[in-house]
Structure 1
Amino acid sequence: MLDLIGNFATHYDKDQKIWSGSSQQSLYNDDLTAGQIIFRQLQRQPQRIFQISHTDNTRLTRSQMLHNAAKVGCYLRDQSFQKETDIVGLMARNSTNVGALAYGCLFNGTPFHAVNPNLERKTIDSLYKITKPRILCCDVADYEKIKDTATSLGALVLIVNGKINGVMSVGDLLQKPLPKDYEPAQFHRGIDRTMAILCSSGTTGTPKAVTLSNSRKLFETHSYLGPDDVQYASSTLDWLTGLITLVTAGVYGTIRLISSQMFSTGHFLELCEQHEVSWTVMANSHVAMLANCPQTRAQKLRSLKHLIFAGGHCLVATLKKMQSFLHGPGILRNAYGLTEVGALVSYNFETQLKPTSVGRLMENIRVRIVDASGKLQGPKEVGEVQCHNGQLWRGYFGNPQATTEMRDSAGWYHTGDIGYFDEDNFLHIVERQKDMLKYLGMMYYPHEVEEVIAQMPDVAEVCVFGIFRETEGDAAAASVVLRSGSNLKPSQVEDYVRQNVSVEFKHLHGGAQIVPQLAKSANGKVNRHAVKAAYLKQSH
C-alpha cells in the first residue's frame, strides 16, 4: 500500500513490519559540505537582501554576508583549524554577526558547538569541557559567565555583539582584508564531516553534546523555499530548528529574519506585520501562547504560508484555535524529529484531518514500532518508535556509552518515544517513555489528561504530571494557565476531569493549581519536571 499526501509517501512492509518514506537521491555531490553549497548560493544575486536583524536594525546583502563569513573562515584557516576536533564554541543570541560566524565555520569545515546562553553556568562549563573548543564566542552580556571556562581550557574568547576592552571581537575580524582567491575548504566525503555539535533537549538529565554531519536531510526537506520567502525562528543555533533555519536560508537564498529577543506573542505578531514573515518554526507551547493571545488576529498573520511546530504535543483544541487565524489549510504543520537524527523524521500537513498525528515519514527514513519485549508491532499497536536514516552518525561527543544506548549496531535510533501508526500510515506519538505514569497499577500518560482539561474554554495551557505516593503510585496533578479575564478555580478543573474522564485512575488525585505561566526550557518546550517542582513548592 502506497499513500501520498502533501507529496510524502509512506509504505508499510507487513512482512518486515517496517514503515518507509519514499526513496530520494540528493542533488549534491557527497564531497561537498553545506558550507561549500552555501558559499556558491551566496554568490548569486549579490545585491539582494539576505538578512534582516530586527533588534540591531541592520540589513545585509548576500554579498555582505558572503564576505563576512569568508573572513571568519579565512581567520580559522590561518589559525590552523583543520581537524574535526578543532572546535569553535558558540554561545550567542541571534544578533547581526552570528550568521557570518556560523557560516565561516561551515566554510572552513570547522564544527561549532552551540550552547544556549540561558543555561546555568555549571551546565555550560560541563558541556564545553567535553568538546574543549579552541575559541569561545559569546555576547558581551555573557562574558563573565564564560571567561573562567575559557581560562581553564586555554581558549580564546571572541565577543559576538559589541566590544570589551582587551578582548577580541567578531567586529575586529571583519575589518581584516579578504584574499581575492578565497575558497571554502574541500574534503573527501564532506557529507560525513561533523558540521555542528548541538545540545540534546536535556529533558531527561544533563544535556549531551550531539554531533551532526553535513547531511542533506537538514535542508532538503524544505526545498519548497525560495528567494521570496522570509524565514524566522526565535530559537538560537543550539536548537535543531535554529540550525535548520540558518542552513536553509543559505541554501535556498531566502531572507533570514532574526531577533535577539526570546519568543513572546506580541513580538512575533510585530515581526509578522512589519517584515511579512512567510515561514516560521516554533515550539508547541508557543503555538498555545499565540492561539490564546487576545491580540492575535488573522490580519496580523496574513503573510504566513508555513507555520511549523515541533517539540511535543499541541492540544487539539489549541490547533483548532490556531487554524482559525490562518489563511487556508496546510499552513499549520506538525514536525517530529530528533537532534540526534539531525533532521525531521515525519511531517504532518494534515493537522486539520489528523490533529493528533506527527504525520508521514520523510524521504529515506524508516521506522519500526517495538514493544517492551523487543517484538515488532503492526498498525495500531503501541511501542517504542525506532528510526533509521541510513547515514553516518558520530554519536554524542565524548560519550560512547550514551551513543550505544541511543543507536544500536544496526543503525536504529531508540527514540524513547512511545507511539504507533494508524491505518493511513500516519505516525502518532503517545508520550515519552519516561513520562508514563502508573496509578493503582494502571498505566496512563499525562497528555491524555491534558487533552481533556484543554477542552475547557478558560484554559490557555496545561501541564499534567504525577505525584508519587507510596501506596497508590503516580497521582495525576495539573498546573493550569488561564485565558485572560478568567476566574476558573482549581476545584472546577478537578470536577471537569471527574465528569469527563470515565476511569478513576486518570482523575486529578494530586490536585490542580492555577499558575501565571508554565516553566519552559530555553527553547520553549514545557519543562514538566520544573512545573512539577513549582507545584510541590507551592503546595507546602
Structure 2
Amino acid sequence: MLPMSIGEIIFQEMVRHPKDIAQISEPEGTVLLREDLLENSMRIATFMRNLELTQSDFVGIVAGNSVHISAVAYACLFNGFALNAINPAYIADIIESLYQITQPRLIFCDGDVYDKVKAATSKLNVKLVSMRNHPEGVITIQEVLQTKVQGEFKPNPLKDKNPPMAILSTSGTTGTPKAVVLTNNIKVLSGFTYLTTCDVQYTASSLDWASGLWATITEAVYSTKRIISEKPLDPTETLKLFEKHQVTWFIQSPAQAAAIVSCPYFEEANLQSLRYYLVGGGRCTKEVFKKLQRKLNRNCINFAYGSSELGSIGSINWHFDEKPNSVGRPCPGYKFKIINGEGENLGPNEEGEVCINKGCHWPGYYGNPEATALAYKDNWLHSGDLGYVDDDGFVYIVERKKDLLKYQSNKYYPHELEELISRMPGVVEACAFGIWNVENGDEAAACILRKPDVQLTEQEVIDYVAQHAITQYLRLHDGCLIVDSLKRSPNGKTNRAANKEHYIKVKGIKIVT
C-alpha cells in the first residue's frame, strides 16, 4: 500500500479546522476560512477531472500570488497531478522550451501574460485559464469555481510509488533554466515542523519558487494563517504588512533582506511578532545580518540552505548567535559531504564542493538525462556550491563554484569584495564579478546599488575598497558602476552574469581572450 500523498494530508488537515482563517489576501483584504479554501480547491480539482486529466499529465501555472492561487495548487495535489510553475517574467522562448518538455494540457496564467503564454504554447493542445486581470473572451478562474462537486469528494490516491509532485525551473543564473522534478515525498516539510496553528506566514515568493511552494504546502499541513499579497515585494509595505497582520514567519532571499534593512521604515517598524525570519537562496552579507540582529530577537533569525533540486530545506541554523555565518546542521535524514576536484571526501574545515544526500531518490531534471547525470551521482546531489563543515558539524557556504576569481595567481571569491563594499555607508548591495584580462586574469568589477538619497561616486567606492582591503590583490581593478537597480533573476536572486553583461555594455568593454 502506498503512503498518503501530500494532497491527502492537506485534505485531511483542512477538514479538521474548517472555521480557522486560512488566508487573507492583500490589498483587498479577502478572507478565506479553511472550509472556503477547501471548497474552492475541490471545485478546481473537479474541473480538472472533467477534462479527463490523468496522473501522468502536468498542470501549468504562470501566475503570481493572488486569491485563488493556493486553491489551484491544492487541486493539483488532491488529484495527484504534478503542477509545473514558471515565473510570469520569463520571455516567451523560455516558457515555450520548458513547456515543450512537460507538455501540460491545462495552464493557469495571469491575464497580463495571457497572450505571451498563448503564443508560447501554440504548438500544444492546451486549455488556458486566466487567474486575474482577465482579457476578454477567455476562461476565468471565477468560471472554473462554478464547477459542481458531485457526491463525496476524496483526493485521488497515488498510482505510482514516487510520482512527480511539482516541476519547478532553476533560476537561470547559471544558464538556460532546467525543469526540476520534486517528488511527492514527506521530506518537502523538512525544516518546517515547528509551525503551529498560531503562526501567520508570509512570503513574496510565488509558486515557481521553492520557498513559495513550501509556504503553500505548509500553510495547509500545519493549519497556519497565510497572508497573500498580489503586489511585488516593497520593503516599506512589507514591514507594514508584518505589523498589520502580526506575521510570525517570513522567508526571503538575501537581496530582499538587504532591501528590507536599508529601508528607512525598518528602524521604526514593530517586528515583535516575528518568531522565524528565514533567509535562504544565496549568501547574505555580514552587514545585513548585523542590522537584522540589532532590530530583531536574535533567536528568530535563521539562515537556511535549500534549493529547487532538493525540493526542501537541507539545513537550517537554529544557533545564529553561536554560528552567525553558517547555514546550520543538516536536517533529519539529510547527509552532507565536501569533496575536492577529484571527488575525494574532505575533512572538517577543508573547502570543496558541497554534496547532499536526502535519503531518497531524486528523479533529476525532467527530460534532461545529461544534466541529471552531471548533478546527481550515487544518490548524492552535487550542488555546485563551495563550502566546508566545521568541527561542530555546521555547514558553511562560501560561493558558487564557477564564480571563483583568479587575479595574478591569487584566488578569491566575489563575496569578499561584496562584503567589503556593503560596509560602505550609503550602499544597499553590491554584485562583484571578474572581467577577463589576458595579462592579469580576472580583474574585479562591481555594480553598486546605493540608497536613493545618497550621493556616491565610482571613484569613492574604488578608493574605499583600496583603503579597507586586507590584501593587495583585493581591489576593483576594472572599476565599478553605480546603478539604480541590480539585475535579478525572476525569482529575485541577484544575477551575477546579467550584472556583468550590463557592466560590460555600459562601459563599452571589448573582451579579448
TM-score by length of 1: 0.91
CA contact (8 A) 1:334 1:348 kept: yes
SS at match of 1:43: helix
SS at match of 2:122: helix
CA contact (8 A) 1:294 1:484 kept: no
Map Cα deviations across residues 294-343 of structure 1 (whole Å, 9 max, x no partner): 111354322211110111111111101122221x2221111111211111
Letter in 2 for 1:511: G
Q: In structure 2, what is the Cα distance between the partners aligned to 1:481 and 1:350?
A: 31
Q: In structure 2, what is the Cα distance between the partners aligned to 1:484 and 1:216?
A: 45
CA contact (8 A) 2:258 2:429 kept: yes
CA contact (8 A) 2:103 2:124 kept: yes
CA contact (8 A) 1:31 1:189 kept: no
Q: Which runs of 5+ in 2 are unaligned?
A: 509-513
Pairing 1:38–2:10 present: yes
SS at match of 2:41: helix
Within the candidate set 122, 138, 153, 1:151 is matched to 122
Question: Which has the higher mean CA deviation after the structures are superposed, 328-337 or 501-510?
Answer: 501-510
Look up the match of 2:324.
355
Q: In structure 1, what is the Cα distance between the partners aligned to 2:285 and 2:184?
A: 34
Q: In structure 1, what is the Cα distance between the partners aligned to 2:104 and 2:339?
A: 39
Change (3 A) 1:189 1:144: closer
Change (3 A) 1:299 1:341: same
Letter in 2 for 1:339: S
CA contact (8 A) 2:191 2:315 kept: no
Change (3 A) 1:119 1:277: same
SS at match of 2:255: helix
Within the candidate set 187, 190, 199, 2:169 is matched to 199
Look up the match of 2:511.
none
Measure how far apart 1:354 and its partner are. 2.1
Measure how far apart 1:77 and its partner are. 2.1
Q: In structure 1, what is the Cα distance between the partners aligned to 2:344 and 2:219?
A: 42
Look up the match of 2:356.
387
Map Cα deviations across residues 444-480 of structure 1 (whole Å, 9 max, x no partner): 1100111122222332211111011112111011222
- Correspondence 1:274-293 to 2 at 5 A: 274-293=244-263
Letter in 1 for 2:169: C
Look up the match of 1:171.
142
Look up the match of 1:16.
none
Letter in 1 for 2:146: Q
Map Cα deviations across residues 99-132 of structure 1 (whole Å, 9 max, x no partner): 1111000000000100000111111111111110
CA contact (8 A) 1:277 1:304 kept: yes
Map Cα deviations across residues 399-428 of structure 1 (whole Å, 9 max, x no partner): 0111111101x1010110011011221111
Map Cα deviations across residues 373-420 of structure 1 (whole Å, 9 max, x no partner): 222100010110011011122211110111111101x10101100110
Look up the match of 2:32.
60
CA contact (8 A) 2:444 2:476 kept: yes
Within the candidate set 113, 123, 135, 2:84 is matched to 113
Look up the match of 1:338.
307
Change (3 A) 1:42 1:372: same
Look up the match of 2:475.
507
Pairing 1:429–2:397 present: yes
Q: In structure 2, what is the Cα distance between the partners aligned to 1:522 and 1:399?
A: 22
SS at match of 1:521: coil
Look up the match of 2:240.
270
CA contact (8 A) 1:112 1:196 kept: yes
Q: CA RMSD in A?
A: 1.6
CA contact (8 A) 1:56 1:96 kept: no
Q: In structure 2, what is the Cα distance between the partners aligned to 1:168 and 1:485?
A: 46
Q: In structure 1, what is the Cα distance between the partners aligned to 2:487 and 2:142?
A: 36
SS at match of 2:303: strand
Q: In structure 1, what is the Cα distance between the partners aligned to 2:237 and 2:500?
A: 28
Q: In structure 2, what is the Cα distance between the partners aligned to 1:412 and 1:404?
A: 11
Question: Which has the higher mean CA deviation after the structures are superposed, 381-390 or 486-495?
Answer: 486-495
CA contact (8 A) 2:243 2:270 kept: yes
- Correspondence 1:88-487 to 2 at 5 A: 88-161=59-132, 163-187=134-158, 192-297=162-267, 299-326=269-296, 328-408=297-377, 410-487=378-455
Change (3 A) 1:204 1:220: closer
Q: In structure 1, what is the Cα distance between the partners aligned to 2:86 and 2:153?
A: 29
Q: In structure 1, what is the Cα distance between the partners aligned to 2:476 and 2:120?
A: 45
CA contact (8 A) 1:136 1:150 kept: no
Change (3 A) 1:464 1:230: same
Question: Which has the higher mean CA deviation after the structures are superposed, 379-388 or 419-428?
Answer: 419-428
Measure how far apart 1:229 and its partner are. 1.1
SS at match of 2:31: strand
Question: Which has the higher mean CA deviation after the structures are superposed, 462-471 or 510-519?
Answer: 510-519
Letter in 2 for 1:475: E
Q: In structure 1, what is the Cα distance between the partners aligned to 2:114 and 2:52?
A: 25
Letter in 2 for 1:352: D
Measure how far apart 1:150 and its partner are. 3.1
Map Cα deviations across residues 10-36 of structure 1 (whole Å, 9 max, x no partner): xxxxxxxxxxxxxxxxxxx95211100
Look up the match of 1:22.
none
Map Cα deviations across residues 176-231 of structure 1 (whole Å, 9 max, x no partner): 221231100012565x2211100111111011010101111212421211112111
Aligned-pair identity in percent equals 39
Measure how far apart 1:162 and its partner are. 5.2
Q: In structure 2, what is the Cα distance between the partners aligned to 1:278 and 1:376?
A: 40
Measure how far apart 1:481 and its partner are. 1.9
Letter in 2 for 1:502: I
SS at match of 2:284: coil
Q: In structure 1, what is the Cα distance between the partners aligned to 2:347 and 2:75?
A: 46
Q: In structure 1, what is the Cα distance between the partners aligned to 2:126 and 2:28?
A: 28
Question: Which has the higher mean CA deviation after the structures are superposed, 181-190 or 223-232?
Answer: 181-190
SS at match of 2:499: helix
SS at match of 1:152: coil
CA contact (8 A) 1:330 1:350 kept: yes
Equivalenced residues, count:
508
Letter in 2 for 1:311: G
Change (3 A) 1:30 1:224: farther
Q: In structure 2, what is the Cα distance between the partners aligned to 1:463 and 1:89?
A: 33
Look up the match of 1:13.
none
Look up the match of 1:6.
none
Look up the match of 2:23.
51
CA contact (8 A) 1:211 1:396 kept: yes
Measure how far apart 1:349 and its partner are. 2.3
Map Cα deviations across residues 235-285 of structure 1 (whole Å, 9 max, x no partner): 110110000000000100001111111111022112112211111100111
Letter in 2 for 1:362: C
Q: In structure 2, what is the Cα distance between the partners aligned to 1:505 and 1:70?
A: 61
CA contact (8 A) 2:47 2:147 kept: no
Map Cα deviations across residues 133-182 of structure 1 (whole Å, 9 max, x no partner): 00111111111111123331011111122544432222112112212311
Q: In structure 2, what is the Cα distance between the partners aligned to 1:482 and 1:148?
A: 39
Map Cα deviations across residues 38-87 of structure 1 (whole Å, 9 max, x no partner): 00111122122101110343111100111111112222223222232x11
SS at match of 2:298: coil
Letter in 1 for 2:413: Y
SS at match of 1:196: strand
Q: In structure 2, what is the Cα distance between the partners aligned to 1:65 and 1:482?
A: 42
